[in-house]
Amino acid sequence: MKKIMNQAENYTDDMLRGIYAVHGDMVKCASGDLRCYCSARKTQGKVAIVTGGGNGHLPLFLGYVGDGLLDGCGVGDVFQSPSGKQIYQITKEVEAGAGVLYLYGNYTGDVMVFDDAAERCELDDIETRSITGADDVNSSADVNVRRGVAGIFFMYKAAGAKARAMGTLDEVLRAAQKAKDNTRTVGFSLTACIIPEKGIPNFTLGEDEMAMGMGIHGEPGIWNGPLKTAEELARESCDTILKDMPLEKGSQVALLVNGLGSTPLDEQYILADSVIRYLGTKGVKVYRSWVGEYATSMEMAGASITLCKVDEELKGWFDEPVHTPFYTQV
């Protein structure tokens, strides 16, 4: 294990101290807890949006706290959930009189944590709603148990834009739901990653082997086999998505090509070109593209492809400017 760190057990807290030191004008911690990560700005009367999950996926989840997106994020240890108490403390800090939307990935531990926080908020008469990202097509045929991966970015964008426009809590929830209903992701891994506290790879792949459908915590995929070309990966990934979410000729999509931590931008753009050209053969036009690291898995090599079918309403939300310490769109 070669990592720039101090003690492995302090990995997450040391990372957070660095973020607060560099971006203290934009973010702060609530209740003196580094893991209770909040925007330094509050707009009275606006719906607040809170997310959370394990560290190791930067810029997911805390990287999207800021103007036009989210208001708070609970941060757990690497690949571990925060606590319900921490989500509750964040909620009390960011709530601005219009209720709070909990928007997070569909993982058992996180569901339990946010349910606990919602119960605590109910006792304080703080109104909450909850929705999970569940876009990973290869993780299950059942949409209710699919994992939430990079596609949650589009849910953040839609909900954040509606909240910024001073929509009601139910309207912000509807925006997130609309993005969720139209978003699908397929991912693949080329290498494992190393959790600092463990010091060893979280799974193994052969030198010339890759894994299709591998989860961002190392969950098993649907096949392991020889490395494929960018065009082959684009074709298989898009076919999987289009089988699950059929698109008519003339449809438009937002595209997110996401690197998992160690994939050079060169390779991500090669993949993006392959995806855009293949979608063109299906009569599907890419309205707007995002390429880069949006939901990583430590230093894992690999990528994911996310498509979100868009209409004029979703386009408007996705085009809204945002500004966070990790992501700015003008």
Retrieve residue 27's tokens.
């973010």
According to DSSP, the residues that pair with 129 across neighbouring strands are 101
The one catalytic residue among 35, 57, 178, 180: 57
The one catalytic residue among 92, 164, 217, 309: 217
DSSP 8-state code for residue 99: -
User: What are the φ/ψ torsions at residue 13 (nearest 5 degrees)?
Assistant: -65, -40
Instruction: Count CB-CB contacts under 10 A for residue 262.
Output: 16
Catalytic, 23? Answer no
Instruction: Count CB-CB contacts under 10 A for residue 18.
Output: 10
Nearest alpha-carbon partner for 150 in 265, 298, 289, 295: 295
Residues 6+ apart with CB under 8 A from 220: 211, 213, 214
Retrieve residue 46's tokens.
């606006």
In terms of Cβ atoms closer than 10 Å to its own Cβ (0-12, 13-18, 19+), residue 32 is: exposed
According to DSSP, the residues that pair with 54 across neighbouring strands are 76
**What are the start-end ranges of the H helices in 42-135?**
84-94, 108-123
Catalytic, 217? Answer yes
Alpha-carbon separation of residue 138 from 20, 154, 234 (angstroms)? 36, 19, 15
Q: How many residues does the chain have?
A: 330
The separation between CA 306 and the C-alpha centre of its own chain, rounded to angstroms, equals 11
Buried b (16+ CB within 10 A) or exposed e, 70-88: bbbbbbbbbbbbbbbbbbb
46 vs 52: CA distance, rounded Å: 20
Catalytic residue annotation? 57, 217
